[in-house]
Chain A
Amino acid sequence: MENSGVSISINDFVHNLEKPSKKWYLGVGVLTVIALFGMYALLRQFMEGQIITGMRDNVVWGIYTANFVFFMGLSYAGALISSISQLLRIKWTKPIVRIAELLTVSTLIVGAPFILFCLGRLDRIHYLLLYGRIQSPITWDVIAISTDLVFCIAFLYFTHIRDFAKLRDYPGLNVSNWRKKMYRYLALGYKGTKEQKKYLHQAHDIMAAIIIPTAIIAYSLLSLLFSMSLRPGWHSTIFSPYFVVTAGYSGVALLIVIMWIYRKNRKLETYITNLHFKYMSFALIMLTLIYGYFTFSEYLTDWYNQTETYHQLLHKLYDMNQFGWLSLFHFVFAFVVPIIVIGFPWFRSINMVTIVSLLIVIALWVKRYLIVVPTLETPYIPIQDIRPEYVHYSISWVEWALSISGIAVIVLIFTIASKWAPIIPVSEVADAHNLEKPKLLFKVRNDSTIKSQEDVVV
């Protein structure tokens, strides 16, 4: 390891946590204003009805649903990376796991409400619990996402406990008294005794082991919102794994972007090193290929033997007057450009990888839009309507406002959370060099009588 854990100390991070600068306050102020504007848009929608959105009787789900799928997908990669590195005791990921976990929680908090913005009757939201029917994919989502959210917040908190204890014990920490109090409270009396260490470690392991299947299930169920409907482009058996892969792909790409921002802003080159970008871009290119494979499989079967409605859908996707440009954008930036830039050594630099990652994130949002909208514009009985807004969906200011305020809230959560605790998990990185071996989940009995080789496998 280039950054052996020994050199890291909370001292290097405390100055970032103390007295925020004016610039920080300005940033938080601007983000809050954007978020509040989104709330204003939501209030208008609530008062006036969804007539002020771009949604109409054919396209009844617009970018709210696309955003929902997109943000939930971003959350997925973070959960997976931090859980797997916890369980398998991977050392190099330690400095970036907190970013990954924050990404998970913030996108979950922002993503989940987007499906609620689709509701025509927000005042009846409690009916989901009062009259919930287990046959409905929406009920599956409600259960899965709320479970996922609780687990991910718990995991994020567990990984913070030791750092909170460190901050509590830091002499002369220049922060307000209520924050000191909060640190003391949140550290749960952690003193670093052998027993406490053991239990906390076990808690991490258990949470990590639970989060992996929970996240996979949550995201698979998300895809069922679409694939359970009798619609061309949706009614597909590979939708669940396709969604999971797309989610991981977008999440890893955004993680690279956030790593780059923190490294630049907080001067963290010693912790977030070239090595991280190297490994993460390797993960990214692998995901590009898997994603490309799924996309290819999906469209090939639709295209090769096309029924009438599938044909209409594919035609819409290729037609330059309809969704052609968006499809091209998605194809180029989610597939072609990553392969050229990351797959070949000529352009592969940290900045280039980051730019490509950002483009991938945008392209995958476009992909979600291309999943939701064109299919809804292609019902079995062709639309015969005189009203143009009923034939083609267009995004209204309300929907833009809410989407942008969603991004603002994610940035806001990052800004505030990284003021509260070091963005690099200090205690975990410090411990990285003396990590235990991963625990074997089960043992395999040796059938032969020779016993000497038993434990070498690890």
Chain B
Amino acid sequence: MKKKGNANRRKFLKNTIAFGAAALTAGSASTLAHKTEAGSKGTTKKVKVLTTEGKVIEVEKTVSDCKIDPCTPPLGREARQGIPGRSFVMVVDLARCKNARKCIEGCQRGHNLAPDQEWLKVYLMRDHPEGEPYWFPRQCFHCDDPPCVKVCPVGATFKRQDNIVLVDDNRCIGCKFCIVACPYSVRIFNWKKPPESKVPIEEYSPEVSQPAQIGTVSKCDFCPDRSRVGKLPYCVSSCPMGALFFGDKNEDAVSNGTETIRFSELIKERVGYRYREELGTEPNVYYLPPVERMFDYKRGLESLPEEKQKVYDDIIYNRNSKKNL
């Protein structure tokens, strides 16, 4: 590890000297101190620079994707701390969701989940018998008072300072108490041997949640490893409707990849709410009510295979009418 770090540093220093001022933007001094692989993550491109003599020259610049330092997921105890100064939130615009299920697929691909394992589920909800059904994507709410963390007997699941609740699969004993405690049915269990990891992973970090291990619990992790390199979570970036927004409450900005909006204004204007506020878990996922929808909920239903549509029969017709249950 150390050798590699030194090599990177040397390469980095070489770049810095060679390209002078242009390269300064590539990384900060702290990147050096942390011996990260900033260099290897960066890509090079040509940029035009004005020299002191007033000439415009073209130089190569190393553009780093690293947005949060360090940009490789930390291991062990460090992974439990979280990224300082961050307060990750997600906003789900229910008016835009049409159950395209691209978020689920993106998540499964990104986290190498088995086809029947869904960290993110899209439910069909209906609030009362007169109400119109709507699609309800539900990822982990990363609660501020998480019932799952409270009950873990070995501290395998933990709350970090950047709002994220993670599971350390190396610690988990598989008692499933957290699955029982979570009122939102977020957590899933690896009942059988999980699929082999496609990307080779040198050392396990709870931030990556890979490789999954049999007999342990896993769940949505808000993709902090992607935040580190300036990418949005898999679900957000794969939503064709831009229904999912991810961001930082401290920066007061959330983005769905194409638009970046002020978090506080969005919640204020669209009357954002949190699911089942009465449970007192203080979620960090906000929902914008499904008003003035872009699509009829039926479109999301029709696109599903017929057997899958049956799952929603009860919900559409009589979930909340006590007589018909």
A50 engages B215 (CB within 8 Å): yes
A387 engages B214 (CB within 8 Å): no
B122 nearest CB neighbor, chain A only: A384
Alpha-carbon distance between A61 and B156 when the two chains are bound, in angstroms: 19
B33 at the interface (CB under 8 A from A): no
Q: For residue A379, which residues in chain B have a CB less than 8 angstroms away from its CB?
A: 183-185
Give, as a whole number of angstroms, the nearest-CB distance from B157 to chain A: 10
Task: Take A121-B173, A124-B173 as given contacts and tell me if A384 and B311 are in contact as well, using a CB distance cutoff of 8 Å.
Answer: yes
Interface centre among A60, A382, A387 (most CB of B within 10 A): A60
A380 engages B190 (CB within 8 Å): no
B151 engages A121 (CB within 8 Å): no
| Cβ-neighbour of B181 out of A56, A57, A230, A315 (below 8 A) | A230
1/0 per residue A132-165: CB within 8 Å of B?
A: 1101111100100000000000000000000000
The stretch of B57-65, B253-261, B285-293, B317-325 in contact with A is B317-325
Q: For residue B153, which residues in chain A have a CB less than 8 angstroms away from its CB?
A: 128, 132-133, 136, 138-139, 142
B319 engages A382 (CB within 8 Å): yes
B175 engages A138 (CB within 8 Å): yes
Q: For residue B243, which residues in chain A have a CB less than 8 angstroms away from its CB?
A: none
1/0 per residue B77-96: CB within 8 Å of A?
A: 00000000000000000000
Alpha-carbon distance between A135 and B152 when the two chains are bound, in angstroms: 8
A136 engages B152 (CB within 8 Å): yes
Q: For residue B171, which residues in chain A have a CB less than 8 angstroms away from its CB?
A: 124, 127, 131
1/0 per residue B107-134: CB within 8 Å of A?
A: 0000000001000010110000000000
1/0 per residue B247-286: CB within 8 Å of A?
A: 0000000000000000000000000000010010000000
Q: For residue B307, which residues in chain A have a CB less than 8 angstroms away from its CB?
A: 386
B4 at the interface (CB under 8 A from A): no
Task: Take A138-B175, A229-B180, A386-B307 as given contacts and tell me if A128 and B151 are in contact as well, using a CB distance cutoff of 8 Å.
Answer: no
Q: For residue B175, which residues in chain A have a CB less than 8 angstroms away from its CB?
A: 118-120, 138
B175 nearest CB neighbor, chain A only: A119
B180 engages A376 (CB within 8 Å): yes
A116 nearest CB neighbor, chain B only: B175
Alpha-carbon distance between A127 and B308 when the two chains are bound, in angstroms: 41
A138 engages B177 (CB within 8 Å): yes
Q: For residue A133, which residues in chain B have a CB less than 8 angstroms away from its CB?
A: 152-155
Alpha-carbon distance between A170 and B234 when the two chains are bound, in angstroms: 79
A381 engages B179 (CB within 8 Å): no
B176 at the interface (CB under 8 A from A): yes
A60 engages B176 (CB within 8 Å): yes
Give, as a whole number of angstroms, the nearest-CB distance from A118 to chain B: 6
B67 at the interface (CB under 8 A from A): no
Q: For residue B104, which residues in chain A have a CB less than 8 angstroms away from its CB?
A: none
Interface residue SS majority, chain B: loop
A49 engages B173 (CB within 8 Å): no
Q: For residue B100, which residues in chain A have a CB less than 8 angstroms away from its CB?
A: none
Alpha-carbon distance between A315 and B175 when the two chains are bound, in angstroms: 29
Interface centre among A49, A119, A312, A376 (most CB of B within 10 A): A49
Give, as a whole number of angstroms, the nearest-CB distance from B229 to chain A: 31
A228 at the interface (CB under 8 A from B): yes
B192 engages A49 (CB within 8 Å): yes
Alpha-carbon distance between A230 and B147 when the two chains are bound, in angstroms: 8
A228 engages B151 (CB within 8 Å): yes
Give, as a whole number of angstroms, the nearest-CB distance from B231 to chain A: 28
B188 at the interface (CB under 8 A from A): yes
A134 nearest CB neighbor, chain B only: B153
Alpha-carbon distance between A231 and B279 when the two chains are bound, in angstroms: 10
- Chain A contact-residue range equals 35 or more
Alpha-carbon distance between A383 and B312 when the two chains are bound, in angstroms: 10
B168 nearest CB neighbor, chain A only: A131
B174 engages A120 (CB within 8 Å): yes
Give, as a whole number of angstroms, the nearest-CB distance from A330 to chain B: 22
| Cβ-neighbour of B183 out of A58, A231, A308, A376 (below 8 A) | A231
1/0 per residue B13-45: CB within 8 Å of A?
A: 000000000000000000000000000000000
Interface centre among B123, B124, B175 (most CB of A within 10 A): B175
Alpha-carbon distance between A135 and B145 when the two chains are bound, in angstroms: 14
A228 nearest CB neighbor, chain B only: B151
Task: Take A230-B279, A386-B308, A386-B311 as given contacts and tell me if A57 and B188 are in contact as well, using a CB distance cutoff of 8 Å.
Answer: yes
A125 at the interface (CB under 8 A from B): yes
Q: For residue B155, which residues in chain A have a CB less than 8 angstroms away from its CB?
A: 131, 133
A48 at the interface (CB under 8 A from B): yes
Alpha-carbon distance between A161 and B152 when the two chains are bound, in angstroms: 42
Task: Take A61-B176, A127-B173 as given contacts and tell me if A120 and B152 are in contact as well, using a CB distance cutoff of 8 Å.
Answer: no
Alpha-carbon distance between A229 and B307 when the two chains are bound, in angstroms: 33
Task: Take A50-B189, A137-B151, A311-B322 as given contacts and tell me if A60 and B124 are in contact as well, using a CB distance cutoff of 8 Å.
Answer: no
B193 at the interface (CB under 8 A from A): yes
A391 nearest CB neighbor, chain B only: B311
Q: For residue A387, which residues in chain B have a CB less than 8 angstroms away from its CB?
A: 116
Alpha-carbon distance between A138 and B180 when the two chains are bound, in angstroms: 13
A195 at the interface (CB under 8 A from B): no
Alpha-carbon distance between A133 and B185 when the two chains are bound, in angstroms: 23
1/0 per residue A52-92: CB within 8 Å of B?
A: 00011110110000000000000000000000000000000
Chain B residues with a Cβ under 8 A of chain A:
116, 121, 123-124, 138, 147, 150-156, 171-177, 179-181, 183-185, 188-193, 214-217, 276, 279, 307-308, 310-312, 314-315, 319-320, 322, 325
Q: Can you list 9 A-B contacts with CB-CB less than 8 angstroms, sorted by A residue number?
A: A50-B215, A57-B185, A60-B179, A60-B189, A133-B152, A135-B151, A137-B177, A230-B147, A381-B184
Chain A residues with a Cβ under 8 A of chain B:
48-51, 55-58, 60-61, 118-121, 124-125, 127-128, 130-133, 135-139, 142, 225, 228-231, 308, 311-312, 315, 376, 379-387
**Closest 9 A-B residue pairs measured CB to CB?**
A120-B174, A120-B215, A138-B153, A51-B192, A136-B153, A60-B176, A131-B154, A51-B191, A121-B174
**What 15 additional pairs, Cβ within 8 angstroms, besides A138-B175, A383-B185?**
A49-B193, A60-B180, A60-B189, A120-B176, A120-B214, A121-B173, A121-B215, A124-B154, A229-B180, A230-B279, A308-B320, A381-B138, A382-B319, A384-B121, A386-B310
